[in-house]
Copies of this chain bind each other. A is one copy, B any other.
């Protein structure tokens, strides 16, 4: 089974579990609407790529981890789009969840996805108990209030924003969760993989900033110029487009430098370069130059 199919099938199965009878029907619909169709599924792919780089000997846990990370990502998007945060009308090329349903169902869908992320990992009784516990704890740290996504979103509520902490928490933490989850699934030491995930997150953030300034809504499936509208930090606004592109290129090399010793490191390097080209197409680089 190729990676895209494995991810889609794992997500389909997991959504079927959480939207099964007697789940109230509108919540079940909202859950399906939130998870499908997906975006690029960058984070679950990263989980599987790291597990494979570490020559996963227990591949049963990696797909659960991929589901968990994607569920947490989807939950954060639903919340980002709420009226009290970005008030975004579209996401992944269709009305955002609170527009298609309502605010209540958007909040409940995000709750359900957060809870289901932990369940996906902890309840996988075929996998090693210690790996499941380690992964549960790591995930809770990476989405929590201190360093995690919740902290990232909460920086937007502060009068003075610590830009580094903001980006690291809002974007970097879930990428670090993805790389660490892949390592834990494979029974490898997750500690050195955090840095790789954070660098990927930082690169992704700059690419996202470039898309926000230089992209168009029909192409990226969500509104553009959101950072300027909300007075948020944006690398293009801070550095200019050309310097942002050069910083992005530097970060991709840094990602590769940080990859810990692992059996299939070369294949992982290839995947990183391939995904970087795919997510950051040459047209954007040209228009930035």
Contacts and interface: CB of A to CB of B under 8 A. Distances in A.
Among A111, A130, A140, A155, residue most surrounded by chain B Cβ atoms (within 10 Å):
A111
Nearest to A75: B111
Interface residues of A, number: 57
Interface string A153-181: 11111100010010000000000000000
A242 interface: no
A187 interface: no
A18 interface: yes
Given A107-B82, A122-B140, A123-B137, A28 B145 contact: yes
A146 B20 CA distance: 6
Contacts of A165: 22
Contacts of A143: 111, 115
B146 A108 contact: no
What is the total number of copies of this protein in its complex? 2
A278 to B, nearest CB: 31
Interface of A is mostly: helix
Contact of A107 (B107, B147, B162): B107
A146 B115 contact: no
Contacts of A105: 154, 157
Interface string A65-108: 00000000000000100101100000000000000001111011
A153 B112 contact: no
Contacts of A53: none
A114 interface: yes
Contacts of A118: 118, 122, 136, 140
Given A112-B144, A144-B115, A24 B122 contact: no
A217 interface: no
A24 to B, nearest CB: 4
A253 B20 CA distance: 33
Contacts of A147: 22
Contacts of A23: 145-146, 151, 154
B115 A140 contact: yes
Interface of A: 17-28, 31, 79, 82, 84-85, 102-105, 107-108, 110-112, 114-116, 118-119, 122-123, 129-130, 132-133, 136-137, 140-141, 143-148, 150-151, 153-158, 162, 165
Given A111-B143, A114-B114, A115-B150, 7 more contacts: A17-B146, A22-B146, A23-B151, A27-B151, A27-B157, A122-B136, A122-B137
